[in-house]
Chains A and B, each alone.
Chain A
Amino acid sequence: MELNQLFMIAISVIFINNFILSRFLGLCPFIGVSKKTEPAFYMGLAVTFVMTASSVITWAVYIYLLEPFHIEYLRTLSFILVIASFVQLVEMFIQKTSPALYRAFGIYLALITTNCAVFGVAVLNSEMYLKTTGNPLKGLLFCATQGFFAGVGFTLVLLFMSGIRERLELCDVPGPMKNMPIAFIVAFLMSMAFMGFSGFRF
């Protein structure tokens, strides 16, 4: 049942192995862009888009370039180059075609060129699905699903965090704990709440 497997992938990357709270990928934007809800939402959308697209592109690179020529050891180099140039292209494209969209998303795109969550999902894909699934199209499906829902999980946690941090502005947090330290404490508490999902079976 492929649909079942896809559902399991989605649940897993959103709740059980959330990229931020459990795998620690993409902490910089998580701490940096979580002070207000709206930027956090746009950041989440940008990350979701780039993650999904990168998953597809790196799948193609792996299947059509690295594997046929037996140069899998160039994975790190080729993935980072492809992702970085893709993000640059998207940025330029949006800048030319839709200045309004660029104003909303542009800065976030620039920020996530070398984001470890984006690169991480590509590497994870290659470890989890590219080597094991015999059928390349099935691999593509799995990779794209993992990429998209990892982005959804990222956005979800980023939104929760931004809501909490907006409220923390009004709170009497002890001086040395203000800003970054308290953000990590909140992340710790959220991570504990997410532990409730460990060991899901469907």
Chain B
Amino acid sequence: MKKLLQEFSKGIFMENPTFRLALGLCPTLAVSTSVVNGLGMGVAATFVIVGSNVIISAIRNFIPGKIRIPCFIVIIATFVTIVELIMKAFLPALSNSLGIFVPLIVVNCIVLGRAEAFASRHGIVKSIFDGLGMGVGFTAALVIISAIREILGNGTIVGLMVARSFEPALLFILAPGALLVIGLLMGGINFLSEKK
């Protein structure tokens, strides 16, 4: 049990996909304009990571080594398609605002990275916890970035006004803001970890 928790928590802190490994940055920057979008993207990606981890781990002994990457991609693409269709049916507004970044989960390096580095070498239960940890770590990073951008750029948090006299800086919900926030956050994290 302790080992499983370790697999889970490493994705959130020590090997956080966004801040530590700098993986999956494209969707992180593109959809983090509001907390709702960030959360939606995080949950969708978590579903795909866990799902593909389970299937790949279950059939890992049947996949020939040479064509494993194409096999992984097919499995991942299947889960992405499921997410796409579910989102379109039940959350059309979210699906609209995430746009092409829902199908783009298929080329998210976190997903393929976990399949290659973990699920193809470990058992199902471990892979579930690994996938959950990575997914939660990714979601947490997305929520942090999108909260910063939403507060500074729109003056709201999850749609609620922060302070009446605050005049939001539009830049933060536009493209340059995403690059600025991620650059400063990465620098800040480097600074803190160097200090330790």
A183 to B22, CA, bound (A): 13
Interface majority SS (helix, strand, loop, mixed), chain A: helix
The interface-forming segment of A41-49, A134-142, A185-193 is A185-193
A183 to B27, CA, bound (A): 18
**B176, A192: Cβ atoms under 8 Å?**
yes
A58 to B176, CA, bound (A): 31
Count of residues in A whose CB is under 8 Å from the partner chain: 42
Min distance, Cβ A40 to any Cβ of chain B, angstroms: 18
Min distance, Cβ B82 to any Cβ of chain A, angstroms: 10
Residues of B within 8 A of A116 (CB): 26, 104, 107-108
Measured CB to CB, the nearest residue on chain A to B104 is A116
Residues of B within 8 A of A192 (CB): 171, 176
**B183, A185: Cβ atoms under 8 Å?**
yes
Contact of A21 among B27, B104, B175, B182 (CB under 8 A): B175
Residues of A within 8 A of B26 (CB): 24-28, 116
Contact of B106 among A26, A28, A80 (CB under 8 A): A80
**B179, A188: Cβ atoms under 8 Å?**
yes
Contact with B along A17-53 (1 / 0, CB 8 A): 0000111111110010000000000000000000000
**A24, B175: Cβ atoms under 8 Å?**
yes
Q: B6 interface residue, CB < 8 Å from A?
A: no
**B179, A23: Cβ atoms under 8 Å?**
no
Min distance, Cβ B52 to any Cβ of chain A, angstroms: 13
Q: A107 interface residue, CB < 8 Å from B?
A: no
**B107, A80: Cβ atoms under 8 Å?**
yes
Contacts A81-B77, A184-B182 known; A195 to B174 CB distance under 8 Å? yes
Interface majority SS (helix, strand, loop, mixed), chain B: helix
Q: A176 interface residue, CB < 8 Å from B?
A: yes
The interface-forming segment of A59-67, A118-126, A146-154 is A118-126
Interface residues of B in 99-117 (CB under 8 A from A): 99-100, 103-104, 106-109, 112
Q: B97 interface residue, CB < 8 Å from A?
A: no
The interface-forming segment of B8-16, B123-131, B136-144, B187-195 is B187-195
A191 to B182, CA, bound (A): 14
**A127, B100: Cβ atoms under 8 Å?**
yes
Measured CB to CB, the nearest residue on chain A to B112 is A114
A-side residues, CB < 8 A to B, are: 21-28, 31, 73-77, 80-81, 84-85, 114-116, 119-120, 123-124, 127, 174-177, 180-185, 187-189, 191-192, 195
Apart from A24-B25, A114-B109, A120-B100, what 14 extra A-B contacts exist at CB < 8 Å? A21-B179, A24-B29, A25-B104, A28-B26, A80-B77, A116-B26, A120-B104, A180-B22, A184-B179, A184-B180, A184-B186, A185-B179, A188-B176, A195-B176
